[in-house]
Amino acid sequence: MKSVCFYFNIHQPFRLKRYRFFDIGNDHYYYDDFANDDIITRLAEQSYIPMADTLLEMIRESNGAFKCAISISGTAIEQLQLYVPEFIDKLKQLADTGCVEFMAGTYAHSLSSLEDPEEFMREVKQLDRILLRLFGVKTKTFANTELIYDDDIATLVAGMGFRNCLTAGAKHVLGWKSPNYVYKAATAPNLRLLLTNDKLAGDISMNFNRPEWDEYPLTADKYMDWIAATPEQEQVVNLFLSMDTFGTFLPESTGIFQFMKALPRFASERGISFSTPSEVCSHLKPVSELSIPYPLSDIDEARDVSAWKGNELQNEALGKLYSVAERVSLCDDRRLKQDWEYLQSSDHFYYMCTKNMKDGASHAAFSPYDSPFSAFTNYMNVLADFLVRVQEQFPESIDNEELNPLLLTIRNQAAEIASLNKEVTSLRTNILNADEGVPVVIEEVAETEVKKADAPAKKRAPRKAAAKKTTAKDTKK
């Protein structure tokens, strides 16, 4: 039976406010709270909540036959908790159905997998902890930021214990191969690879509301006919879509929610099932090995990482940010670490994209800035202040290699000081008790007496018996 696996992605960054050169050193708060509140609230009302209700209805009406996967970034979770906590409750309801698999990813939807392996693993573990705490789920499938993947990333992902990974079914990688199979990673044979079917996903996200499209209008039965018409031996169709698509880019008036609700019925009529990525990988064997030596993604026609690392502006910003990664990881300043996470979001670098391509307008459409250079200038002003704060804790005169032993010494000294303070407090208490006529009990002696008192009764019994015999003998005398 052919399976369809829907993946719905949710991510929102903490957008930066207009931060000028003269704010450096004077203002350490970088975020546009009004814009963040407005955007996440509007998206939740138009898209997230209606789509969650749609998925719950699809699961209920199909008696659990409809299944899907959701990936959500930590920054999106934080904003939803702040401004739209009711949507978090909707996600909990979806998790409770047992028909929705939550996938692992980077906490800030960052590019750390390309820049700093240690930071990448830390982010993934941090998001995993939040998903477990909020929704009670343990992730099994990994989906990187915008599905970025290569052979090196495969090694890291497998090393963290994941068995499955979703990435883009890019033509320049697959060649004549179909994305509708399970593959395995060349550098990590135990890691199963699921590849997106960009053609069928695009028919929903890009063509559903386009009257000039040859197949317009798209209906649920027509869509399932296309999936059923794929070669019989093909195993699974992976459809990766942003949840923003439903209700925002495709308004409710287009009938997109009715289209989704009708899919399970027409799928059942054609013998097509819905699965979670873990179910797909557990039931299907890989058909072959896939080697991807250079990073790919699901962005733009090139399907590479040039949308974030394609010009000098972006590389300069990334280089400056990740140059202090080790120092930030060693600090204990909660606010500094929070800013570090928010500044890593890939969106900041996406706004700096200068690619001259036919779909390049999409970069500007998502950007709050007038130009890529304005995005770069604003980000670098914020980053300059952030770097000053990092330098205040760890001066540049100290090499990264020297930081670990220095911090270890500081922490050992702090532990020793805490121990001495505790001893001083105990001595002061004893002195006060002595002045008031209360017997002073040395802690070690007291502990010994407590242990004697708590000793098992069986060990003390023989001594009591001996005492009784002696008393009786003395009485006879």
Active centre residues (catalytic): 146
3-state SS assignment for residue 235: coil
Residues 6+ away with beta carbon under 8 Å from 99: 59, 64, 66, 67, 68, 276
User: How far apart are alpha carbons 115 and 111 in whole angstroms?
Assistant: 7
SS (H, E, C) the chain: CCEEEEEEEECCCCCECCCCHHHCCCCCCCECHHHHHHHHHHHHHHHHHHHHHHHHHHHHHCCCCCCEEEEECHHHHHHHHHHCHHHHHHHHHHHHHCCEEEEECCCCCECHHHHCHHHHHHHHHHHHHHHHHHHCCCCCEEECHHHCECHHHHHHHHHCCCCEEEECCCHHHHCCCCCCCEEEECCCCCCEEEEECHHHHHHHHCCCCCCCCCCCCCCHHHHHHHHHCCCCCCCEEEEEEEHHHECCCECHHHCHHHHHHHHHHHHHHCCCEECCHHHHHHHCCCCCEECCCCCECCCCCCCCCHHHHCCHHHHHHHHHHHCCHHHHHHCCCHHHHHHHHHHCECHHHHCCCCCCCCCCHHHHHCCCCCCHHHHHHHHHHHHHHHHHHHHHHCCCCCCHHHHHHHHHHHHHHHHHHHHHHHHHHHHHHHHHHHHCCCCCCCHHHHHHHHHHHCCCHHHHHHHHHHHHHHHHHHHHC
Q: Is residue 256 within 8 Å of 61, Cβ to Cβ?
A: no
